[in-house]
A and B are shown apart, each in its own frame.
Chain A
């Protein structure tokens, strides 16, 4: 009792080199385009295997094949030397492969225990849910990860880091011996990352294997035994972590001399209080998270707002774009008080917004040009659409921002994440907004696309736009911002206007 699952009965130490899972010559095409070309990949029992590469390099495709999401591909997949073929994610899970996605699939309104047992609640007398047994088992289950959480707590009341661990325990509970973690640290604060790593090391000691996909190379180096690097749909290298450095991984990833390896470790702030204030946030509260937040956005300046997850930045950005209402305080645009009852009003006033999740502002099944023109349609046409004008405008953005593929009729969902982010930006570039609000503008993006976005945002500021960048990644803030506001639990904790600041300063203030 107290053991995790059937899967935990596996021998604890397996120092042999027979792979638990092996992929041989895997190729996957979408339409005519190869997303993966002749990839060999293997996982040993009891190893943490880091997987890195720019967006669109093929790591997600490979993982979706392993996790049974894509059933059709060329090549072989072997488990314990035996060929296997998964038709669904359920097949893969039965075979002992589970995946925790970047976007958590938890039910916030259910209890922690219900989330652990989601879909497989223990029953008694054939029909009734065995609540006591479920809570007891969930507690054991979670405790085995070294956590002390009351299983009757509402899931949504836990911090994201703990929710993620609960989801991880669900995957473990269902018997997974190979666990795929997609960007597990992107939403976590440093202590949460450390707790996750402790859990992962514990699982490794039990003989389970973990595939750790991340853009955070420091995290990958800290936790992995081996690292595989992808580039352009092919595997570049698989190497023991001890033989790798951050620099060498980056050069494998981008295949060119790395320019900014230490980008975002520190920055020289150049805030200038003599610049005109475009938008002013005056002691704003939303009655929920935000408490008396004040800050000024100045013409031609990039204001960075840094803070951990849940510090209120998201709510701040939504309030400025008319998505959530204010309880108290006011907003001033060009010195005049404004009140936005809808996003349409905010947009009409000259405010542009790119939310943290691309899904929230893009239409996956529509072509690129419709995605770009949607926010300027009223300027192009009064009543009847002018598709040629739409395409022309979209085309100039596609060229300017180097969006690939360079056509305006591609269905958006077929673009890589970085290119989708550029489309999200392009929506607002036809007529320069007064204020541009960017929530997590570079999260989950590869190095190349990140540089492009940074360049675009800086050039917009140079052209006089007041830019607000909100992020939980200090690197993003330090790379972009002219001045920095640090938020903590819904209020402004500290402001940096000028002089040199380090990543450590931000972490210390938040």
Chain B
């Protein structure tokens, strides 16, 4: 069918595309969305709106950083949003609340409250890690249970009420800004930078990719696979915890169901960005693009007048398309590589 002359060149291009598809497709999606919304809405392509998109993505971004580690090892964490909420509420629990809030709390100095809260996040991560690596519960189920447990902790602590006060440092990082830039954006960028360096330039990062690429081979190479998986589960819980602490300050309140949207958005960001669901491929760069795609989409849909119920459906469809590309890219890679 094809002429034989251009076979090698074609093979080369095809191979390159197969290799890079998971990176190229999300970038093109992002550019297309930006161009589309810029032509549809006069306020979309402005600095103020850009900062708005970044601020909205920053909390999800911190969660997505942790999830990137987990998904790179071909595991999953469904408890991220629930843990973020539970940790946000724990933060409030250690802070004096105004009189009209009918919640039990233990007022502690700010930095002690922050340390205890971080320890709580570490605790959640450790339990997940233990269940997955020592007992051998699949992460999908283990984190489903942890999601429920974290929701339970949240419910016990707030009992249907709303807490408003957080340590000053957290309030500043969550809702304050410096030179017109929100602190939450800066924190998110710092997390991404550190995560990128860890994944790309450290031994641990290499282990994460190798365990995701071929777990058995990593084990037969003498890599402590269980330790690597335990570490990513803890890292993910810690990221969720920090996102929860900043998140409640960002919203201005801590309450049951405060983070309900964040599970889907965070997983979607990682996957839309092109990190392989089968592990071993992708990274923080992909996650950033994924966050931007979702951020631009949400923001843009708000700006052009569109049925707000349709928005939910459109988000679902975009996620589905990303999943198709993700799996297809993996297949292309396997058939040509």
Contacts and interface: CB of A to CB of B under 8 A. Distances in A.
Interface stretch (B139-147, B155-163, B181-189, B212-220): B212-220
A385 B201 contact: yes
B202 A385 contact: yes
B196 interface: no
B280 A365 contact: yes
Nearest to A362: B217
Contact of B201 (A74, A361, A384): A384
B212 to A, nearest CB: 10
Contacts of B213: 363, 365-366
Given A72-B2, A370-B210, A343 B222 contact: yes
Interface string B12-27: 1001000000000000
A385 B12 CA distance: 31
A363 B224 contact: no
Given A31-B12, A72-B7, A74-B4, A370 B219 contact: no
B160 to A, nearest CB: 46
Given A31-B11, A381-B203, A385-B203, A344 B223 contact: yes
B203 A344 contact: no
A427 B217 CA distance: 12
A348 interface: yes
A342 B214 CA distance: 17
Contact of B216 (A342, A344, A360, A375): A360
What's the dominant secondary structure at chain B's contact region? Answer: helix
B165 to A, nearest CB: 39
A348 B223 CA distance: 10
B337 interface: yes
A389 B229 CA distance: 26
A362 B202 CA distance: 20
Contacts of A347: 221-222
A343 B7 contact: no
A365 B203 contact: no
B8 interface: yes
Interface string B191-218: 0000000000111111100100110111
B333 interface: yes
B214 A363 contact: yes
A264 to B, nearest CB: 27
Given A31-B15, A385-B201, A360 B206 contact: no
B315 interface: no
A1 interface: no
Given A343-B221, A344-B222, A385-B203, 20 more contacts: A30-B11, A323-B219, A323-B220, A342-B226, A343-B223, A344-B223, A344-B224, A359-B214, A359-B217, A363-B213, A364-B214, A364-B337, A365-B333, A366-B210, A370-B210, A375-B223, A381-B203, A383-B203, A384-B202, A385-B202
19 contacts: A31-B11, A72-B2, A72-B7, A74-B4, A74-B7, A342-B226, A343-B222, A344-B222, A347-B222, A359-B216, A366-B213, A374-B210, A374-B218, A375-B222, A377-B203, A377-B207, A381-B202, A385-B202, A385-B206
Interface of A: 29-32, 72, 74, 85, 321, 323, 342-344, 346-348, 353, 355, 359-366, 370, 374-375, 377-378, 381-385, 411, 413, 427
Q: Give me the 9 closest cross-chain CB pairs, A-B, nearest first.
A: A347-B222, A344-B224, A361-B220, A375-B221, A374-B221, A74-B4, A361-B217, A363-B213, A363-B214
